[in-house]
């Protein structure tokens, strides 16, 4: 074995999430694309962040960057891309995500490594991946036309709550 945890290890899953969240923030910070495309990309960031936070929340305190991001996501889901508050809220969300990816997230991953056996981490990672596979998704805007509509979770008011509920509901049969 190469010394790296398997792909299903919860720490590997969360580290991968952190890299993807960071990449999406960078893409948004570049500021390219129409306002509508930026809204689609922001919705994709929100969807990825909800997926990540559902997996990581049990290992974090309640007052952290993800809690701040949660409030910003809820405000952002009701903001149109042409509204002045959209970019302000998005900037706040990006800052909260960046803080989480650099500080809070790695601390949670280290805590999981310290407190969970490799076997338990593999079980937890598998459970997270299974729940994600069963839940509808919101694709990256560049892929939206290639993902069947039935498999997508469309944004809008209540999106954060609907996405959380879908991820927390165990897959049936």
Domains of the chain: which residue ranges?
Answer: 10-168
Which pTM value belongs to this model? 0.76
Q: What is the DSSP string of the chain?
A: --SSPPTTSHHHHHHHHHHHHHHHHHHHHTT-S-HHHHHHHHHHHHHHHHHHHHHHGGGS-SSSHHHHHHHHHHHHTT--TTSHHHHHHHHHHHHHHHHIIIIIHHHHHHHHHHHS-HHHHHHHHHHHHHHHHHS-B---GGGGGGS-GGGB---STTHHHHHHHHHHSPPP-
Q: What is the mean pLDDT of the chain?
A: 79
Among 23-37, 77-91, 153-167, name the one with the lowest average pLDDT. Answer: 153-167
């Amino acid at each position: 074995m190469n010394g790296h945890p398997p792909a299903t290890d919860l720490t590997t899953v969360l580290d991968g999430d952190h890299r993807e969240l960071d990449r999406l923030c960078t893409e948004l910070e570049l500021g390219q694309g129409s306002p509508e495309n930026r809204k689609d990309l922001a919705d994709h960031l929100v969807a990825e962040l909800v997926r990540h936070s559902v997996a990581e929340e049990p290992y974090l305190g309640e007052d952290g960057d993800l809690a701040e991001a949660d409030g910003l996501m809820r405000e952002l889901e009701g903001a149109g891309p042409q509204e002045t508050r959209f970019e302000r809220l998005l900037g706040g969300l990006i800052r909260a995500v960046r803080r989480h990816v650099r500080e809070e997230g790695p601390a949670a991953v280290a805590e999981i490594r310290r407190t969970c056996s490799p076997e338990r981490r593999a079980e937890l990672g598998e459970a997270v991946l299974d729940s994600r596979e069963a839940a509808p998704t919101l694709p990256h805007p560049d892929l939206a036309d290639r993902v069947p509509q039935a498999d997508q979770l469309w944004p809008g008011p209540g999106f954060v709550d609907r996405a959380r509920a879908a991820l927390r509901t165990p897959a049936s049969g």
